[in-house]
């Protein structure tokens, strides 16, 4: 994180060297350097955006800027790397709205908050835009930290999405999000909420203390690498309606109920994961779910290590939603009750079933 922040600072210095140093009003800079505008607190950031030519860079001094901004052209907005530069929403709706076809927008070193009322997101992105966020905090918005739709593609690096009224990050309608080294915490409903064929890459992120860590529906695809999903009040992750969750080298721990839930024709792929100390079962599956689990451990969960929707199993069984899917895998560790790191009610349920492959070693 430190090296990337240094690179961003060097980039900002290069911009200043290329286009001139002083800090003046947006009007003065637009005359002398039409591709670089310096904006001071108290000036209208929306006016600067409206005057900026396509491809311009807006450099903001530390301070607070009135939000409810609309961005409809390609540009960059750079805050101060060493001090807080805050965009604060001031009317109903998102604090920042980016919309349009083929836009390329970058936001660096900013705090975005104050999205208000209906659709009061910190950042709304729609219309197939391409957006990059680095070192941006999206917090204390009425709805989501970031809300993305319409085939937009969004990359978030070293960002914090916290304490928003609903989700940290929300995507739908073929949108694509890539989150790296981010924190999604303390959001009122979900850390990650995905609908309608949205696609995610989540790498080296922490998803914690939300109501649910990850909730995915409607053929969403979520690929998680090296993440920690923990201390969420309900589920670590729940998948429904043909969603796909791929977990590699990820820890699902200390969530209030089940660590992972798969239902309604979903698919889960786990590789080298640890699922432990969750308030329900480590993994609960029902209906036509298909699971592939390799070299993973299910330890110290309050119910079972792995549980299927069946009459003798505890945790969410609905007789109309009994498990009729498929499980495969190898090299897994599931500890029995009474053993060190044992799952409290047992390793697997139902205990006697031809569904379980040989790769599930009960210890």
257-277 per-position pLDDT tens digit: 999 999 989 999 999 999 999
Residues 6+ apart with CB under 8 A from 3: none
Residues 6+ apart with CB under 8 A from 247: 224, 227, 268, 269, 270, 271, 273
Q: Which domains does the chain have, with CATH numbers?
A: 24-231 (2.160.20.10), 234-363 (no CATH)
Q: How far is CA 161 from the centre of its chain?
A: 8
Q: Whole-number mean pLDDT of the chain?
A: 89
Q: How far is CA 164 from the centre of its chain?
A: 12
For residues 81-100, one letter each, b for 16 or more C-beta atoms within 10 angstroms of the residue's C-beta and e for the rest, the string is: beeebbbbbeeebbbbbbbb
Mean pLDDT split into 10-residue runs, the chain, 363 residues = 47 41 38 81 95 96 94 97 94 96 96 95 96 98 97 97 98 97 98 97 98 97 98 98 97 98 96 98 94 96 92 67 89 90 93 72 63
The whole model's pTM is what? Answer: 0.89
């Amino acid at each position: 994180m430190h090296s990337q922040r240094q690179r961003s600072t060097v980039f900002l210095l290069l911009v200043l060297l290329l286009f001139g140093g002083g800090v003046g009003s947006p009007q003065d800079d637009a005359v002398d350097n039409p591709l670089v505008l310096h904006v001071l607190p108290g000036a209208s950031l929306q006016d600067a955006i409206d005057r900026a030519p396509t491809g311009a860079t807006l450099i903001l001094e530390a301070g607070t800027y009135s939000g409810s901004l609309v961005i409809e052209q390609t540009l960059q907005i750079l805050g101060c790397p060493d001090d807080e530069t805050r965009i604060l929403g001031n009317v109903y709706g998102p604090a920042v709205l980016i919309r349009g076809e083929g836009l390329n927008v970058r936001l660096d070193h900013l705090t975005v908050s104050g999205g208000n009322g209906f659709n009061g997101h910190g950042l709304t992105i729609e219309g197939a835009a391409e957006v990059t966020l680095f070192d941006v905090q999206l917090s204390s918005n009425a709805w989501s930290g970031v809300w993305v739709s319409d085939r937009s593609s969004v990359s978030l690096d070293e960002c914090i999405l916290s304490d928003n009224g609903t989700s940290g990050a929300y995507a739908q309608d073929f949108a694509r999000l890539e989150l790296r080294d981010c924190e999604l915490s303390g959001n009122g409903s979900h850390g990650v909420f995905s609908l309608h064929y949205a696609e995610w890459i989540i790498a080296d992120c922490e998803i914690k203390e939300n109501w649910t860590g990850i909730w995915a529906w409607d053929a969403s695809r979520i690929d998680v690498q090296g993440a920690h999903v923990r201390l969420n009040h309900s589920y670590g992750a729940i998948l429904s309606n043909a969603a796909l969750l791929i977990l590699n080298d990820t820890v699902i721990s200390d969530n209030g109920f089940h660590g992972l839930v798969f239902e309604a024709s979903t698919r889960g792929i786990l590789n080298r994961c640890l699922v432990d100390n969750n308030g329900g079962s480590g993994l609960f599956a029902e209906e036509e779910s298909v699971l592939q689990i390799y070299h993973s451990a299910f330890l110290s969960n309050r119910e079972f290590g792995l549980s299927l929707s069946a009459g003798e199993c505890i945790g969410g069984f609905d007789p109309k939603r009994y498990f009729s899917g498929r499980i495969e895998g190898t090299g897994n560790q599931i500890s029995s009750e009474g053993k060190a790191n044992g799952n409290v009610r047992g390793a697997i349920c139902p205990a006697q079933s031809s569904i379980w492959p040989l790769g599930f070693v009960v210890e």
